Structure 1
């Protein structure tokens, strides 16, 4: 642009010198045109400077925009990765929740089965207790009790109801009580029977073959089992005989009344719980 201005000025001077005589009017016109061209040239220079500044600014903004774009692109990629990880975690959590829900339903179903089995056991135990109380009603004033403990029916008979003092031979009154008991047991075939012999803490003296309270408790227990199986025809596979000697008293007091209560035969009746045990093992 500057070269063009110089060339124009030279041409102007040449024309000016070439003219022999130039009128004032023309001269003024040329001067005015020169001034106008100079102003336009200056304006063009300013415009060029402004355009260059704008161009530099635009390049800078483009670079900044490209940097922001790359940063946003990186953020998007990172967020996309995180979204994928979160989605995977969500899927895994959903699968786990479904599995836990299925397991919970199975456990609830199993719990209901166990509760139903326990309810049936308790119903059977209460029904058995009522039958025994009715069958043995005549002996309850002679030292016989029927109660429920830990889901089992306990028929407790004091020694004086079954045996003469210091003896292992069941007397007539005891046989009558056991006969009434056996009538119920032979009808209730799904009942296991444990016979436990108990003594007081007094030492055994001069009882021949009976050496101590262990012998006395065991032999009285086996006498009851033998009578129930041999005379009353109770299935022997259902019975268990044990002797507890003096070591499970129901009254620890050191009195005659306490010792009388502790000398007893306990017949423990429990419904067969095969179904319940199978449920618990699962």
Structure 2
């Protein structure tokens, strides 16, 4: 990359020395290049933050599922202990009432976790159904909607969004983006990550250094369109680029490259909701140990 930059700089100096461009034009190009570098650093910082938050959300989902399994195991142990107390002749010091209360508390917490997970799954299902019903058959050819681990992924092909090698939104993409924006605005308790992806073909465009730049610029274009054209709250939006390093198919074929050139709109529940669930877990007691 440095060699490419030096070559470009050297070419620019040669062109300047040979009179191909004026000093003013060269300064404008240099300033534009610096601005792009600064924009890329800002986008990359936001993207890294969103990746950490997305990873945290997935971790919280897994933690909730583990807590459900753990609580069920604890419930079985408490029930066995209670049965032992009821069938034993040496119940003396066992507080059966306390065991019953603890079993009931565990049952309530398990049901709370199950209800919350079911509610999240139901909201994701409704969101997905509402989106797919709003899209035409032609639009669905360029849009793929999936729900994975409590997260909604909307994948848009670059053929629909942009011209080849460009990060400017195509006029034909407006109707599809407007439908997606309506869904996003209807579900206000979700954060939205826009993630750009490319194939492995090197980009050769002025002021776009590589596929990292292209993917980040494309994600930024979608974010700004959702904000400026369709009124989505920018505080809920994050733009990031993954370049060619998150393929979903082989780049050895044209079809695989076409699948890899995509922009994903990732809709995730807010992290503070998961933290509230974890904090509501019932405090452990010594009643289980008392009946061993």
- In the alignment, structure 1 residue 217 sits paired with structure 2 residue 215: yes
Identify the residue that residue 119 of structure 2 maps to in structure 1: 120
Aligned residues: 191
Q: CA deviation digits over 1:5-45, x for unaligned, max 9?
A: xxxxxxxxxxxxxxxxxxxxxxxxxxxxxxxxxxxxxxxxx
Which SS does the other structure have where 2:186 is aligned?
coil
* TM superposition shift of 1:90: 5.7
Q: Is the 8 A contact 1:118 1:276 kept in 2?
A: no
Distance 2:103 2:97 in 1: 10
Q: Give the alignment partner of residue 232 of structure 1, picking from 230, 248, 267.
A: 230
- In the alignment, structure 1 residue 166 sits paired with structure 2 residue 179: no
Q: Is the 8 A contact 1:191 1:238 kept in 2?
A: yes
Distance 2:207 2:101 in 1: 64
Distance 2:172 2:151 in 1: 25
Identify the residue that residue 154 of structure 1 maps to in structure 2: 153
* TM superposition shift of 1:129: 0.4
Q: CA deviation digits over 1:141-169, x for unaligned, max 9?
A: 44211221112221110111100000010
Q: Is the 8 A contact 1:125 1:270 kept in 2?
A: no
Distance 1:263 1:192 in 2: 23
Distance 1:185 1:138 in 2: 21
TM-score (norm 2): 0.60
**Correspondence 1:181-196 to 2 at 5 A:** 181-196=180-195
Q: Is the 8 A contact 1:200 1:263 kept in 2?
A: yes
Identify the residue that residue 266 of structure 1 maps to in structure 2: 264
**Correspondence 1:43-58 to 2 at 5 A:** none
Which SS does the other structure have where 1:145 is aligned?
strand
Q: Is the 8 A contact 1:114 1:279 kept in 2?
A: yes
Distance 2:136 2:278 in 1: 37
Distance 1:245 1:99 in 2: 58
Q: CA deviation digits over 1:62-94, x for unaligned, max 9?
A: xxxxxxxxxxxxxxxxxxxxxxxxxxx9655x1
Which SS does the other structure have where 1:204 is aligned?
coil
Which one has the largest radius of gyration? 1
Q: Is the 8 A contact 1:168 1:223 kept in 2?
A: yes
* TM superposition shift of 1:248: 1.2
Distance 1:140 1:232 in 2: 18
**Cα distance, 1:110–1:254 mapped onto 2, change above 3 Å:** same
**Correspondence 1:4-153 to 2 at 5 A:** 91-92=92-93, 94-95=94-95, 99-153=98-152
Identify the residue that residue 248 of structure 1 maps to in structure 2: 246
* TM superposition shift of 1:209: 1.4
Distance 1:230 1:124 in 2: 26
Distance 2:229 2:273 in 1: 31
Q: 1 or 2 for the larger relative contact order (CA 8 Å, sep ≥6)?
A: 2
Which SS does the other structure have where 1:131 is aligned?
helix
Q: Is the 8 A contact 1:139 1:177 kept in 2?
A: no
Identify the residue that residue 59 of structure 2 maps to in structure 1: none
Q: CA RMSD in A?
A: 2.0
Which SS does the other structure have where 1:186 is aligned?
helix
The unaligned stretches of length 5 or more in structure 1 are 1-88
